[in-house]
Chains A and B, each alone.
Chain A
């Protein structure tokens, strides 16, 4: 039983970070109807910024989100204004090719600049844990989960309560109608892409102290983010949160009862089942 609880807790904690990655992707998709296949690579850039802030300027990885987040927002906004914007009305395959290409450019530029060496960020708390009744809970994971929760709450507030947030949601619901209502859709797209990138970058910063960093690390997370987003319902922020935690728990608990090698199988079986019985995702609304 204690193993089950242990697995459940690790799963929820890691799922929180997955959720953050998924939310970023889902916002971008919601507003622009573009699947950002460079999402993992944006996360990777966030990891590198965190790494260098830590090694060169001694900024704690968790504190560095305050720098990484805004920086990645600007980076994402720039990407959307200069590149993505040009393919908004284009065929889906062109959009996919473009984002995949962007991702390749990012990972290969990073490889060129910093070599493909694995970098490990070691903080004082990288392998420390707190014991609660025989169950050990990873300290860095708890901190990152709390930060994830704060970011997600702030995001909900932003989307629900502020004018810009409402404009973003309006754009996501119906781009044309939003335009007719006088919403600056082009600007909303830039903000949405920036926001998505900032979330991915922050997730990178949160994972950095417990994971390892290398230029190709993004592909692992692009796939995860994609699964989470589709699982939760494309464009649904709550769905992505749920999807992230679900995937985290499925991996962790599945790893214990079926063996570590079966983790991915379990995740994708759940994924397929959801698609089979609820094709629009857990909380997705079917659109035409």
Chain B
């Protein structure tokens, strides 16, 4: 009898979706629905909406409980506690920003509830040997690495200036850029951490210009990216390349500001024209449904929700089992191959392949690494208004 049960369990594990009646799973979703990060949060929400549709087709009926963290860590913590205890969900997807995700990583451990962080990339989050938290996206380390790899392959930069906002994401991005630059023998000539929301960065940019760096590396959210580039143009800052670490530089809104965004590089987790399964279809579907272009945030949320719900369904709503299956599983979808591995001090971290895109004529084009990229990079920066 015992052997039979083991066998049956093995079969259900190997052949998911055999029991055809819709499986019901209860999943929590913490996101910045309002607050300053809401424009990006919207992408995550939309990605999850699409994921729920696809899950339904697979026969998985997700009872989704959404919580708004307004971009504040303390709110996301209370949301997590509510989801893990009162709602007793099997797993949680979210939150958006690194500061909230850092707060939740430890709570997942405390409440023994699996958490998939779709896109928050602060390096340390998966470096704490936490067993209940999984991260789909690459880390801020990778944001800097891919950009500097590209720059050193395309040119011979000797110096670099770093401008970052003084948030978890910004500081972590700047730190990894600095470390990797040291490995690549690029000297850091200026380091400026600013607090976001100031209308005037001109003086900072002017002092950077006086150091004449070959590369300018920036880590900023949506609006500051545009502001920084506008004022760089005003000041006449012209390095070999402007390197943006995703976030604000990866948005459509940024690309549309052609005057200031042309030829700016940005590392990203996903692009619509990358050759991963379902990428192009996802892009089309997203555009028809929401009337906007998706950013990589949407695909990470989509893929995280798919993985979490499928795994939770397989585990029949058991939290510990869900965690074990997440640890062992392997997926291949819009985000390419996903596996939550332990390596180089990381725990449950997907070794995600980063991409570099460049704004060419008002649109993001994938330009690096060559094997995934349909377009060629423009390097060095040709100058303003060219």
Most buried by B among A138, A210, A251, A256: A256
* In the assembled complex, B200 has its CB within 8 A of some CB on chain A: yes
Q: Which of A240-282 contact B (CB under 8 A)?
A: 248, 251-253, 255-256, 259-261, 263-264
Q: Is the CB–CB distance between A14 and B199 below 8 Å?
A: yes
> Could you tell me if B192 and A129 are in contact, using CB atoms closer than 8 angstroms?
no
Taking a contact as CB atoms closer than 8 A, the residue among A11, A116, A128 that contacts B35 in the complex is A116
A120 interface neighbour in B36, B233, B257, Cβ under 8 Å: B257
CB-nearest residue of chain A to B222 = A118
Interface residue from B195, B230, B260 paired with A263 (Cβ < 8 Å): B195
Query: Nearest A residue to B259 by beta-carbon distance?
Result: A127
Nearest-neighbour CB distance to chain A for B233, whole angstroms, equals 4
CB <8 Å contact, A116 and B39: yes
Which residues between 162 and 209 of chain B lie within 8 Å of chain A, taking CB atoms? 163, 166, 191-195, 197-204, 206-207
- Minimum CB–CB distance from B201 to chain A (whole Å) comes to 7
- List, in ascending order, chain A residues with CB within 8 A of B257's CB: 120, 122
Chain B 210-254, CB within 8 Å of chain A: the 1/0 string? Answer: 100000000000110011011101111000000000000000010
Which of B194, B199, B233 has its CB near the most chain A CB atoms (within 10 A)?
B199
Is there an interface contact between A216 and B36, defined as CB atoms closer than 8 Å? yes
Contact yes or no, B199 A211, CB < 8 A: yes
**A214–B223 CB distance below 8 A:** yes
How distant is the Cα of A42 from the Cα of B166 in the complex, in angstroms?
28
- Point out the residues of chain A lying under 8 angstroms from B226, CB to CB: 120, 212
Closest residue of chain A to B190 (Cβ to Cβ) is: A259
| B207 and A127 within 8 A (CB) | no
A99 near B: Cβ within 8 Å?
Answer: no
Contact, CB under 8 Å: A6 / B234: no
Question: A207, B166: Cβ atoms under 8 Å?
Answer: no
Q: Which residues of A contact B227 (CB under 8 A)?
A: 210-212
Give CA–CA (A115, B207) in the complex, Å. 36
Does B38 interact with chain A (Cβ within 8 Å)? Answer: yes
Contact B34 A111 (CB under 8 A): yes
Select one of B195, B198, B207, B260 contacting A3, CB under 8 A.
B207
Is the beta-carbon distance between A260 and B194 smaller than 8 angstroms? Answer: yes
Residue from B207, B229, B234 with most neighbouring chain A CB atoms (10 Å): B234
A220 CB contacts on chain B under 8 angstroms: 197
Does A10 lie within 8 Å of B200, measured CB to CB?
A: yes
Residue interface bits A207-231, CB-to-B below 8 A is 1, else 0:
1001110101000100000000000
Selected from A115, A120, A253, A260, the residue in CB contact (under 8 A) with B201 is: A260
Which residues of B lie under 8 Å from residue A263 when comparing CB positions? Answer: 194-195, 198
A198: chain B residues within 8 A (beta carbon): none
Known contacts A120-B253, A126-B230, A127-B230; is-contact A260 B200 (Cβ 8 Å): no
Q: How far is the CA of A14 from the CA of B166 in the complex (A)?
A: 22
The docked-state distance in angstroms from the alpha carbon of A212 to that of B222 is 10
Could you say which residues of chain B place their CB within 8 Å of the CB of A253? 203
B38 lies within 8 A of A3 (CB): no
Q: Which B residue's beta carbon lies closest to that of A217?
A: B197
With contacts A118-B223, A120-B223, A252-B202 taken as known, whether A127 is within 8 angstroms of B195 at the C-beta atoms is no
Query: Which one of A118, A129, A252 contacts B253 once the chains associate, using CB atoms below 8 Å?
Result: A118
Proximity string of chain A (114-150) to chain B, C-beta cutoff 8 Å, 1 when within and 0 when not: 0111101010001111010000101000000000000
The one of A7, A122, A251 that contacts B198, using a Cβ cutoff of 8 Å: A251
Complex partner residue of A129 from B198, B210, B235, CB under 8 angstroms: B235
Nearest-neighbour CB distance to chain B for A130, whole angstroms, equals: 10
Kindly list chain B residues whose C-beta atoms are within 8 Å of the C-beta of A128.
234
Q: Which of A3, A253, A264 has the most CB of B within 10 A?
A: A3
CA distance A255 to B199 in the complex (A): 12
CA distance A138 to B234 in the complex (A): 6
Measured in the bound complex, the distance between the Cα atoms of B202 and A108 in whole Å is 31
Of chain B, the residue at the smallest CB distance from A7 is B203
Given contacts A14-B200, A120-B223, A127-B231, contact A259 B193 (CB under 8 A): yes
Chain B contacts for A10, CB-based, 8 A: 200, 202-203, 206
* Chain B residue with the shortest CB-CB distance to A118: B223
Contacts of B195 in A (CB 8 A): 260-261, 263-264
Q: How far is the CA of A128 from the CA of B199 in the complex (A)?
A: 16
Beta-carbon nearest neighbor of B192 in chain A: A260
Residues on B with beta carbons closer than 8 Å to the beta carbon of A14: 199-200
Task: Judge whether A214 and B206 touch: CB under 8 Å.
Answer: no
**When chains A and B are docked, how far (Å) is the Cα of A11 from the Cα of B236?**
18
> Given that A122-B257, A264-B195 are known contacts, is A136 also in contact with B236, CB under 8 Å in the complex?
yes
Decide if A11 touches B235 in the complex (CB within 8 Å): no
Closest to B196 in A: A220
Contact B235 A136 (CB under 8 A): yes
Chain B residues positioned under 8 Å from A248 (CB to CB): 200
Query: How many angstroms between the C-alpha atoms of A260 and B36 in the bound complex?
Result: 21
Interface centre among B34, B202, B227 (most CB of A within 10 A): B202
Task: Looking at the assembled complex, report how far the CB atom of B326 sits from the nearest CB atom of chain A, in whole angstroms.
Answer: 32
Known: A211-B227, A264-B195. A127 touches B203 (CB 8 A): no
Q: Who on chain B is nearest to A210 by CB?
A: B199
A174, chain B: closest CB distance, angstroms: 38
With a CB–CB cut-off of 8 A, which chain A residues contact B260?
127
Q: List 22 A-B contacts (CB under 8 A).
A: A2-B210, A3-B203, A7-B203, A14-B200, A118-B223, A122-B257, A126-B230, A127-B229, A128-B234, A131-B236, A136-B234, A138-B234, A210-B230, A212-B223, A251-B200, A252-B202, A260-B163, A261-B166, A261-B194, A261-B195, A263-B195, A264-B195
A residues with a Cβ closer than 8 A to B are 2-3, 6-7, 10-11, 14, 111, 115-118, 120, 122, 126-129, 131, 136, 138, 207, 210-212, 214, 216, 220, 248, 251-253, 255-256, 259-261, 263-264
Q: Which 6 A-B pairs have the closest CB atoms?
A: A260-B194, A7-B203, A212-B223, A116-B38, A127-B230, A129-B234
Query: Can you add 16 more A-B contacts, CB < 8 Å, to A6-B203, A212-B222, A259-B192?
Result: A116-B36, A126-B259, A127-B233, A129-B235, A136-B206, A136-B236, A210-B227, A214-B36, A216-B36, A220-B197, A256-B206, A260-B195, A260-B201, A261-B194, A263-B194, A264-B195
